[in-house]
Amino acid sequence: MSVPINGEVLKHMAALRGWNGSALAKEAGVCNSTVSTAFAGKPISVTTLTLLATALKGTSVDEDIERLLGRGDPPPEGDRPPTPGKP
């Protein structure tokens, strides 16, 4: 089963940890192309979603998964990704 995620949130979460796509891929144990797919907001497997969230574990995995799926509470004000089209 594949699920679409919010690629901008994923990029922001990685950036908060000082990671680019390659670093996230290495930490999660997935291919660079898989992270590129996720960064683009294209559907990824639930297994990949879990691996990415586990690698990012600055918050609980369940909370990260809910945010990536666009269903959770937004991150705290200082942790929010930029709004597209706004400086």
Render pLDDT for 47-77 as a digit per residue (tens, 0 to 9): 999 999 999 885 455 666 777 788 766 655 5
The class (CATH top level) of 2-73 is mainly alpha
34 vs 83, higher pLDDT = 34
Domain ranges for the chain, please list them. 2-73
What does pTM read for this prediction? 0.67
SS3 45: strand
Closest CA to 80 of 32, 5, 13: 13
Residues 26 and 86: their CA atoms lie apart, in Å, by 31
Closest CA to 44 of 24, 60, 59: 24
pLDDT at 16: 84
Closest CA to 39 of 14, 72, 58, 71: 14
Residue linked to tokens 């699920």: 3
